[in-house]
Structure 1
Amino acid sequence: MFYEVLVLLLIHVASFNLSSWPAVRLRPSTFTRLHSVDPEYLLEQARTRSTFTRLYSVDPDDLLEQAARLREEADAIIREKTEVAAVAQEEERTTVQNNAAYKSQFSVVLPILKDTGKEVDEEVFFKPLFPQPEFKEISSSFGSEILRFDIPLPLGIILGQEPTSDLITIDEIDSSINPLSSSLLKPGDLLRCCSATQTQMSMPTWQLIVGGIGQPKTVRFMYSCDGFRSKFEEVLDALKSNRMDVGGRDVVLVVERK
């Protein structure tokens, strides 16, 4: 089709008197540029000019509005992060307070015998043996508590042991034998710990030098009555051993009470 049009055009041109036409000459470079330009290049130039025009024709008010919107979004993110951090900090503080309250509920100060032979008062934590409700807040009620009582001999109590467990309980209290026991202790209390005495050989350095065998010495210590590490008869013997305390001190009893 292109060649047919070209032939017709040449025939039509040949029919004119070219001598009457003014001489028109095209520069080769101009002709080459006109016929060698890539259409894709022209489209790309048009797009570039359109983009340039859009960039430099933006309304300043629109830019300010966009900046304000971005600022609001950034502030919202910062507020959200601050609130999350505050909630986490409050939860951590509550957890620390709850743990402290839980530990205080089941801890008592007891005289602990050290390797040096001296007694030192220390706070001792007893894991509760009675079932406990789910503890969420400080104001929540506990299922039991740990108590310490110092009672002189004779105690006037009767101990018992559950047939299905190793727990030792206070079954009866004779107020005629020891009124203090009846005012402090209650039937059903779990006996968790008690003081006990034991005779040991004390060997000072000067006796070792001269070949001595030492001297007997009675020491007091705290004996676990949980039933897991001690038998019922051993607990009774531990309570009776307080009679050998040279200082005649009161018997220390630790009970767990509902």
Structure 2
Amino acid sequence: MNRCVAILGGTGEARLLAGQLAGQRGTRVVSTLAGRVRRPRMPAGEVRVGGFGGPQGLADWLVAEKVTAVVDATHPFAERISAAAAKAAHYAGIPLVLLRRPGWRPGPGDDWHWADSITEAAAMLPGLGRRVFLTTGRQGLAAFARSDRWFLIRCVDPPGLPLPARKELILSRGPYTVDGERALMTGHDIDLLVTKDSGGDHTVAKLTVARELGVPVVVVRRPALPAVPVVATVEEALSWLGSAAG
């Protein structure tokens, strides 16, 4: 059996899937990265970095590379990429599955406040806290620029402007530990956490610490999924590839 699987990557699940496929005889795996992270963690197999110029450009590339199946394993908030991938696979007549890790859910002792967007999250800060641990990534930080709160901003790469006037910036990449997050939040007197519902284990420690400290959390909901098959784990993606795109 000869097949070519394209993985729209950038996540831990994408790297794990690429590693599994790269060791299979008769399978060519090509991971595509958007190129927004300066030093991305590279997956096994072939790697392509950069955009495609929209859904039709991606569709043309899929056909040119003789791709037989597509796995969209991008970040849960990569809404535009996922929408473009669904259209491109449809244009090219190639099966696609969306690999999306489950989102987080509040448990006993959690004080969560859901927001439908970054802008809505920024509007919710008054009355919830004065020293904010902001972990929504570098995109969308402009929504907090006019706030009078103090922010501890953590992201992987340096963000653009504008930024809040009162802030401290930390450039860091997970995974994070409970002990490390506790030291960070207590050391900066954090009384409010703002995050996206990214899911997974790499960055969940901050939620554990927020629960311990009684710190409220503003959680930005995930965008709607495109109308494509969805799996939650790498194992399910491999099964789908074996049955639907073998």
**TM-score w.r.t. length of structure 1:** 0.20
By percentage of residues, which structure has more helix? Answer: 1
**TM-score w.r.t. length of structure 2:** 0.21
Q: Which has the larger radius of gyration?
A: 1
